[in-house]
């Protein structure tokens, strides 16, 4: 039974010209196969010249009849659903920015392995620590971390030590370097 193309807005020549502007190679093959059918070639011949089965060509003709050239584009696979929702990622960002509580979390600064355990505890999602690092990067955070601030640090004792310690001295400005003799 011959293939019937019901869309008549493009001729075979126009389809060939349109195919030269497409960047999707699979879509180009589909357009060219439909152009061959419009020229009167058989389904088997048009399919084999474009590297597909005749049944596949029939399916593409039906798609073309229903949706035009847009229906011939390759569809992207949506992929796996994200492990964390945007709301959970926002909560993770708040958690990282707030920093850990040493009494609750047992650490003074977040590491990826610590955040991995916290994500599993809070969201019941088990991921690799590299995934945690990627999420932090996506959230605009870097892996560079400031030195931990000890909770019992005494700024007054630190200043007194700087003033009385013979080891501590103010940094001096470097002498200007002279070029030549």
Question: Helix-strand-coil percent breakdown of the chain, rounded to 5?
Answer: 55, 0, 45
How confident is the prediction for the chain on average, in pLDDT? 87
DSSP tally for the chain: helices H, then strands E: 9, 0
d(CA 148, CA 150): 6
Q: What is the pLDDT of residues 61-83, one digit of tens each?
A: 999 999 999 999 998 888 899 99
**Percentage above 90 pLDDT, the chain:** 58
Higher pLDDT, 93 or 163: 93
In the numeric block, which tokens belong to residue 146? 């400031």
**24-46 tens-digit pLDDT:** 999 999 999 999 999 988 889 99
- Give residue-wise pLDDT tens across range 102-157: 898 888 888 999 999 999 999 999 999 999 999 999 999 876 666 667 778 888 88
* Model pTM score: 0.49
The count of other CB atoms within 10 Å of the CB of residue 4 is 9
């Amino acid at each position: 039974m011959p293939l019937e193309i019901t869309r008549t807005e493009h001729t075979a020549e126009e389809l060939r010209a349109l195919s030269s502007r497409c960047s999707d190679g699979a879509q180009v093959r589909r357009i060219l196969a439909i152009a061959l059918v419009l020229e009167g070639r058989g389904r088997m011949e048009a399919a084999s010249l474009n590297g597909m089965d005749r049944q596949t060509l029939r399916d593409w003709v039906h798609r073309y009849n229903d949706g035009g050239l847009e229906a011939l584009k390759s569809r992207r696979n949506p992929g796996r659903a994200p492990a964390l929702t945007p709301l959970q990622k926002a909560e993770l960002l708040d958690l990282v920015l707030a920093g850990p509580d040493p009494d609750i979390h047992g650490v003074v600064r977040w590491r990826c392995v610590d955040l991995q355990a916290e994500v599993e505890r809070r969201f019941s999602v088990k991921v690799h620590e590299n995934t945690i690092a990627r999420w932090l990067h996506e959230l605009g955070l870097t892996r560079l971390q400031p030195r931990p601030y000890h909770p019992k640090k005494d700024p007054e004792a630190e200043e007194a030590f700087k003033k009385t310690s013979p080891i501590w001295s103010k940094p001096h400005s470097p002498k200007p370097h002279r070029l030549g003799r």
